[in-house]
Structure 1
Amino acid sequence: MVRATLTRGSTWLRAGFGLGVLLLAAQVVMSFAVTQAWADRHPILDGGLQDGVYLLAAALVAARAALIREDRGAWLLMSTGLFAYAAGTVYWVALFSRMDHPPFPSPADALWLAYYPFALAAVLRLLWVRQRRLSAAAWLDGLIAAACAAAFASVIFLTGFAGSTGSRWSAVISVAFPVADIVLAGLLLGAWALSGWRTERVWMLLLTGMGINSAANGIHAFQTAVGMSLPGGWADLLWSVALAVIVVAAWQRPQPATERRPASAVVGAVLPAVLACASLLLLLGDWRSVGALPQVSGLLAALAIAGAIVRMLLTVRVVEALADARHQARTDDLTELPNRRSFLEAVDHSLDPGPVAPALAVAIIDLDRFKDINDSFGHRVGDRLLQLVAERLAEAVGSVGTLARLGGDEFGVLLPGVDAEQAQQITTGFLTVLRRPFHLGQIGLHVDASIGVAACPAHGVDSSTLMRHADSAMYQAKDHQSGVALATGGPDDDSGRQRLTTLEELRAGLDRGELTLHYQPQMLIAEGVVAGVEALVRWNHPSRGLVYPDGFLPLAEHAGLMGRLTTQVLEMALAQCRAWNDDGLALTVAVNLSASNLQDCDLPGYVADALLRHGVPAHSLHLEVTEEILIRDAARTTEILAELRRMGIRLAVDDYGTGYSSLAYLQALPVDDLKLDRAFVTHCDTDPRSAAIVKSTVELAHNLGMRMIAEGVESEAGLDRLRQWDCDLAQGYHVSRPQAPQQLTTWLRQQASDVAHTDDHTTVATS
């Protein structure tokens, strides 16, 4: 912005700025020459040149404030202070420069003093813009720097100061000048500390220029006190240099906020210590040659030292906090084991590049069915189990390797100096250790695990490759229930990546509404009419097409997505049920629930709200659960199912006969229907064993006051056998395949028409 402003500015402005800098430089050179050889120069020439330099400096700073928006307020304040100082100088030169005993105080003194509040305000304005949030350490640094600078300044300005023997106002003015310089000196160094010891050019030049000005004032005060003050001396030279530096600071290109960086941590720690040491030397110095150390100087030095002590204590606490944070960032809170970050760092460290790849193995341990434990017994029990598993694994690993908790129920083991076969033997021992029962109060649990092993260099030479192959091997062990699986390094090891990819695509698919439902009719066998449908979810994948439940439901259950998925299925099923009812097709709709759904105490309330929103009566919704789910946590499941049933919703046990069937559970659970698995129904017309199971299950259901639904009906012969055994409902390809809503609506209308035609024909034949 500044460069653009200067480029667009007129030629006279650039020439004027250049001329002003040259004049300031000329004044510096002239002052130096006078200091060396021209002490008796003409006072009018000396005063006129001095007036011109002061006015020019103020005008150049004011021009910068007028032409450039950034930091405008600070430079307006600075230019105002410089104009006040220049006005005081002009007044003094015009009226008092030729007097042997000029009056004191005078209006010139008031104008000179007016410079200080404006200069202080300019510094504070720049500091506020650049550093609005200050830490405790920054405040302490500012206190140390300000107190130290003020202490040394007070020595310069107050040593030998005897005050004024004149009027009260002369005494006030005599004190005001050294006090103002002491405050300014303290503020300058304190502001630099508060800015984070930043080395921004604008900031450094301004502080340098104002610091030189204060130093010149100190020299002038000292010379005046000892009777050595002469026109054109070193004080005049330093005043001119200070003005030149302030003007150059004003016209620097402002540094963007993104480029403003505090000094390094080393500098930030060293400078306060140096200032504290300087303050200590000031207190311990021998002042007998110049008189006693001013009391104010001693107090300021002591304040700087006290601030440094507090700063040191704060630094120690910060260092401890950083160390603790570093430890926490690499430690798992629950088990106190190293976490994933620490584990990966350990693997990377063990794989440091060298002429030969090191021998080591990485194992990933995943607990089987841990989510079921969490769902059944609560997270408190699950967390305690993880702690016990961690303790047992740590004992088993010992000094052989490094154990870490990677997240959830997943642990990692780094085994240096072993090959793949040795790693497989070691990790098999981990399984033996884990299979001993864990006792958690009144609960005894057995834990199984799946372990994947990858070795360097056989399966990779970097941490990401080894972890990916170990993760894939772990999934292979889980799929094949083999306990331990060794990575192959081939295409099969991409299965883990494919799972993760599918899972992320499923998350996105749920957000985009990619789920769709197909419906399979359920026929009342005795009447031969369709009474309801079962909603079967499909995933309309953008590139893979229609994906069936086996391709994504296990992943969704494992990743905790079944709540969202079931919600979407319920919404779609109830909306379709409402549409069919409005269209004259009175149908019930059955929706499957998962294990995680039955652990959600909010499920009944959500279902009630959904029924109300869609205007579907409760008896039109059937909910199906597997018997395996019921057995995992029967108490909680029974409570939720009972609440759903009290609402008027019909409940069914799905896939009956494939799990751990128990008559005791059937007697206690609030269910209305049994749905016999297709494995028994499909061959009931040809296989005597299947026929016996189906027939006895129908009788069992009826004796328990339940309806029997047979799925997997594939033939008319099978349907006839079910009719003979008084089975209630049939579902299968012989009745109808699952269909999309539009196609099924057409099919349902055709079925209703056929039934009506058959009824009419029967009535005519009878009459």
Structure 2
Amino acid sequence: MVPARGRWWLRAAFGLGTVLLIIQSAAVFPAGRAWLEANLGFRTVVQDGIYLLAAGLVLARALLVRQDRGAWLLMAGGLAFYAAGTVYWVAVLAHISPTPYPSVSDFMWLAYYPFAYAAVLRLLRARESRIRLSSWLDGVIAAACAAAYASVVFLGGVTVDSFGSGLTMLVSIAYPMADIVLAGVLLGSWALSNWRLDRVWTLLLTGMGINTTANGLRMLQTTSGVYTPSGWVDVLWAVALALIAAAAWRCPGAGAQQRPARAMVGMLLPAVLAWASMLLLVSDSWRHRGLSVISGGLAATAITGAIVRMLLTVRTVEKLSDARRQARTDDLTGLPNRRRFLEILRRELPEGDGGAPMAVAIIDLDRFKEINDSFGHDLGDRLLQMVAARLTEAVGDDGELARLGGDEFGVIMRDADTAGAQKIALGLLTALRRPFDLDQIELHVDASIGVAVHPDHGADHSMLLRQAGNAMYAAKNDHRGVALATGEADDVAGRQRLTTLEELRVGLDRGELTLHYQPQMHLASGTVTGVEALVRWEHPRRGLVFPDVFLPLAEHAGLMGRLTLQVLDIALAQCRDWRAAGLHLVVAVNLSASNLQDTTLPGHVADALSRYDVPPAALHLEVTEEILMRDAARATAVLAELRAMGVRLAVDDYGTGYSSLAYLHALPVDDLKLDRAFVTHCDSDPRSAAIVKSTVELAHNLGMRMIAEGVESEAALDRLREWGCDLVQGYHLSRPQSADRFTAWLDERYPRRGAEAEIALH
């Protein structure tokens, strides 16, 4: 016995039990048996003491420890009957010849079994609040197999005639049947506990199992006429009682700290038990002696349970396989997902620099967020499905396509070197640029594709993907469509880009945006009538950051709407302050193409004008020709609503995009703003001069004003004045400046105008 920690009397009781067990064990040797036979009184004390001490220890545990109290009370009751039967046998029945059968001791010993069943099942219920079907089947298999073998031991060679009649027959049948059931309960309970082996459970099941084994040995020895009192069977009974008492006094928390058996144990043990049952049937057939009905039925039950368990396992494996597949498949498109993509890439990527070439491409749809926001997620999902189908067709059997998340796809291109990978990527881009028909809406989709080749751009999958991602961002920023990774510099740039994006998010929260203003001069009057607001970012560590660094990131990350509203607020607040100081200037603010897909924009503009008490005519909004590549109808509706409010509208960077006269005629705009590429050299380049002059005439013929940007010399200014250009801006007048510096600059060069002059200029 293992003495429990804590109470002194408990340690003393376990110590006494250990001594009694040693004495009982010594009786198996001739010298020890002779001494005990010479001292019958002492042998009686030893034998009775072991049974009574075990029952008392379990009862004390049940009374003093609350956890699992009901189970241990039941076990104490069973052991009490067992001890009482033994004491009565030793004290009374052992001295009667012939010994009465059945006797009071038999009924007390039999009373142990129902208490033992109930105790084991109560402990099982406490440990397993919910038992799975597979565990139930394991329990049936284990219980039936154990009971089948026990029945062979306890019922072997026994006939109905050997039991006698009446009460004698009932008691004689009850013993083996009780042990058969107990064997099934013990092994079945272990199976139902999911084959767990915590210390309490192990000690209890082992102790009760040894007790059942000892009963079987006693029956075999009695049948064979070789049973010897105080022999090994008695020692096994004593050991069984010791283990049960030790299980009761294990640490109360030990039973709760159960650890599941290893998966192999849970899989192998039911199979082993089923094979054992089959072996029982087959071996008996070889001996030409049929099993008893009970033994055969139990073995058949175990085998049937094993068959059902196997079918359940097959079904479970299929479910696990489906779950594994679903965990690696994108639900929307049916393509492999990021996890599966990485698994394939790791598996197929050559080790080191050897092996066939391989390339990876990252595909990101341009402006997909705007499509989702404009037309809804249902249409966006359908578009992704159509994109997936088109890319699958384009990739074919030469690569592996996956959806990595959102509007991002990945392609593994086998046997593709740099030239081959670029060719494949261009083919993918061409396929995507064909229009998609969705609910009578024809959408033109563009994409940015980054390509990285192994081993030139990375020796492992992580580096290769990072390089491909960086190349994709480079393609997006430069509007190249397809970009090839260039090496470590891309990796550094990628980290810098992500860092910048996160800092921009924080900067927007902290109000770190600021505006610089570049004057616009009215050529006919020579007066500065307005300014263009140009956004800058006052980074806390990097200083003034120019828009070409962060605007593409903001566009890609969906931050343009928020950024534009902040710029609008800053510009209108400054316009209000200038007007209060007598400077009635028009402020021009740039809108991105994505802003014009937001149907709530006119409401935000109206709210801002009202909040800062600025008249609509004092605000100019500039848009680029990029809107022609988007949903032109939606953009036109937004522009018309803004113009109806009294806000003037201009097409910025005219001449660098589609420059479609049809769209120009349809768009509700007031001004054309010619790109600096034509204006800068209009005084020296005849072709530039012709373009500028004709564009001025076009604007006037359409009822629009002409604004020339990029004026860098007096000669260019003179030519623009000569051709009738309305407004000009450029470095020749002034570089963009902060509001304070611009105000000082304006006061030095131009007199302040009144509201009447401002209105006349419009």
TM range (shorter): 0.7 to 0.9
TM-score when scaled to structure 2? 0.73
1:218-239 Cα deviation digits (max 9, x unpaired): 5567778999987545553322
Partner residue in 2 for 1:274 = 272
- Verify: 1:203 aligned to 2:196, yes or no: no
Q: Which residue identity lines up with residue 119 of structure 2 in the other structure?
A: A
Cα distance in structure 2, aligned partners of 1:653 and 1:35: 116
Moved more, 275-284 or 726-735: 726-735
Shift of residue 554, structure 1, vs aligned partner:
1.6
- SS in structure 1 opposite 2:67? helix
Unaligned runs of 5+ in 2: 94-98, 757-762
**Structure 1 equivalent of residue 636 of structure 2:** 638
> Deviations along 1:72-106, whole A, 9 cap, x unmatched?
623x3454234323432454455564134375489
Question: Counterpart of 1:119?
Answer: 119
Q: Kindly, what percent of the aligned residue pairs are identical? A: 43
Q: Are residues 197 and 373 of structure 1, via their aligned partners in 2, closer, same or farther at CA, if it must alter by over 3 Å?
A: closer
Task: Give 2:625's aligned residue.
Answer: 627
Partner of 1:392: 394
| Aligned pair partner of 2:134 in 111, 132, 137 | 137
1:188 aligned residue (186, 189, 192): 186
The answer to whether structure 1 residue 98 and structure 2 residue 92 are counterparts is yes
Counterpart position of 1:380: 382
CA-CA distance at 1:272 after TM superposition: 0.9
AA in 2 matched with 1:412:
V
Residue from 419, 423, 426 that aligns with 1:424: 419
Distance in 2, Cα, partners of 1:55 & 1:644? 98
**Separation in 1, partners of 2:516, 2:697:** 29
CA contact (8 A) 2:449 2:482 kept: yes
Paired with 1:119 and 1:328, the residues of 2 have a C-alpha distance of 44
> Are 2:407 and 1:412 aligned?
no
1:146 aligns with 2:143: yes
Q: Do the aligned residues in 1 keep the contact of 2:361 with 2:468 (CA within 8 Å)?
A: no
Alignment of 1:152-231 (within 5 A): 152-153=149-150, 160=158, 181-218=179-216
CA root-mean-square deviation: 5.6
Q: Per the alignment, in what secondary structure is the counterpart of residue 752 of structure 2?
A: helix
| 1:699 and 2:700 matched | yes
1:765 aligned residue: none
SS at match of 1:145: helix
**Distance change >3 Å, CA 520–CA 286, structure 1 → 2:** same
Report deviation, 1:665.
1.8
Counterpart in the other structure of 2:548: 550
Q: Which residue of 1 aligns with 2:760?
A: none
Name the residue aligned to 1:88.
81
CA displacement at 1:360 relative to structure 2? 3.6
Amino acid at match of 1:81: L
- Inter-partner Cα distance in structure 2 for 1:254 and 1:315: 35
Who is 1:361 aligned against? 357
Listed as ranges, the matches of 1:657-696 within 5 Å are 657-671=655-669, 674-679=672-677, 688-689=689-690, 692=693, 695-696=696-697
What displacement does 1:488 show? 5.3
Deviation string for 1:202-231 (max 9, x for gaps)?
Answer: 433332122223334555677789999875
What amino acid sits opposite 2:76 in the alignment? F
AA matched with 2:140? L
Whichever residue aligns with residue 452 of structure 1, its letter is: V
How far off is 1:361 after superposition?
A: 2.7
Go from structure 1 to structure 2 and tell me whether the alpha carbon gap of 1:645 and 1:179 turns closer, same or farther (over 3 Å shift): farther
* Closer/same/farther in 2, CA of residues 582 and 270 from structure 1, 3 Å limit: same
Contact 1:450 1:483 in 2 (8 A): yes
For 1:477-518, what per-residue CA distance to the aligned partner results, in whole angstroms no more than 9, with x for missing partners? 7777778766555646644444444445545656x6465242
User: What's the offset of the Cα at 1:691?
Assistant: 5.5
After superposition, the C-alpha distances for 1:49-77 in whole angstroms (9 at most, x for unaligned) are 3443234335555677789x8xx623x34
Aligned to 1:516: 513
Which AA in structure 2 matches 1:29?
S
Contact 2:537–2:545 under 8 Å retained in 1: yes
CA drift of 1:476 comes to 6.0
Shift of 1:551: 0.8
2:457/2:486 contact within 8 Å kept: yes
In structure 1, distance between residues paired with 2:286 and 2:722? 122
Q: Secondary structure at the match of 1:553?
A: helix
- The whole-number CA distance in structure 2 between the counterparts of 1:574 and 1:604 is 13
Secondary structure at 1:238 match in 2: helix
Give the C-alpha shift of residue 638 in structure 1.
Answer: 3.4
> Which letter does structure 1 place at the counterpart of 2:112?
W
**2:505, 2:88 → 1: CA distance?**
86
CA distance in 1 between counterparts of 2:132 and 2:744 reads 74
Q: Secondary structure at the match of 1:428?
A: helix
Q: What CA distance in whole angstroms lies between the structure 2 residues aligned with 1:250 and 1:531?
A: 96
Structure 1 residues 98 and 425: CA distance shift in structure 2, 3 A: closer
Q: Deviations over 1:233-268 (max 9, x none)?
A: 555332211122234445556898998543333332
* Deviation, structure 1 residue 174: 8.0
Q: How many residues align?
A: 723
2:10 & 2:578 partners in 1: Cα distance?
85
Q: Deviations over 1:629-669 (max 9, x none)?
A: 23432134335555666788765544344322223223333
Q: Is the 8 A contact 2:422 2:484 kept in 1?
A: no
Contact 1:20-1:57 within 8 A present in 2 as well: no
Rounded to whole Å, the distance in 2 between the matches of 1:613 and 1:263 is 72
In the alignment, what sits opposite 1:737? 736
Counterpart selection for 2:561 from 555, 562, 566: 566
Structure 1 residues 328 and 739, CA, compared in 2 at 3 Å: closer, same or farther? same
Give the 3 Å change call, closer, same or farther, for CA 103–136 of structure 1 in structure 2: closer
Unaligned runs of 5+ in 1: 761-767
Judged with a 3 Å threshold, the aligned counterparts in structure 2 of structure 1 residues 404 and 368 are, in CA distance, closer, same or farther, namely: closer
Task: Tell me how far 1:26 sits from its aligned partner.
Answer: 1.9
SS class of match (1:552): helix
CA gap 1:647/1:117 in 2 versus in 1, 3 angstroms:
farther
| Residue aligned with 1:141, SS | helix
Q: Is the 8 A contact 2:602 2:641 kept in 1?
A: no
Could you tell me how far 1:48 is from its partner in structure 2?
A: 3.6
Aligned pairs (5 A) from 1:225-374: 232=230, 235-250=233-248, 261-282=259-280, 286=284, 295=293, 297-326=295-324, 344-345=342-343, 348-349=346-347, 357-366=353-362, 370-371=366-367
Maintained 8 Å contact 1:473/1:485:
yes
Could you tell me the TM-score, scaled by structure 1's length? 0.73
Specify the code of the residue in structure 2 equivalent to 1:755.
R
Q: CA deviation at 1:677?
A: 4.3
- Equivalent residues of 1:77, 1:118 under 8 A apart: no
Distance 1:608 1:117 in 2: 80
Q: Which moved more, 1:689-698 or 1:236-245?
A: 689-698
Are the counterparts in 1 of residues 58 and 245 from structure 2 also a CA contact under 8 Å? yes
Alignment counterpart, residue 21 of structure 2, candidates 22, 25, 42: 25
AA aligned to 1:567 is: R
Matched residues in 1 for 2:140 and 2:645: separation?
A: 71
Corresponding position of 1:763 = none
Q: Which amino acid aligns with 1:127?
A: R
| CA contact 1:472–1:496 (8 Å) conserved in 2 | yes
CA distance in 2, matches of 1:509, 1:135: 54
In structure 2, relative to structure 1, the CA distance for the partners of 1:258 and 1:554 (3 Å cut) is farther
Contact 2:142–2:187 (CA<8 Å) still a contact in 1? yes
Report the CA distance between 1:311 and its aligned residue: 1.8
Taking the aligned partners of 1:679 and 1:575, their CA distance within structure 2 comes to 29
Q: Tell me the SS of whatever aligns to 2:81.
A: helix
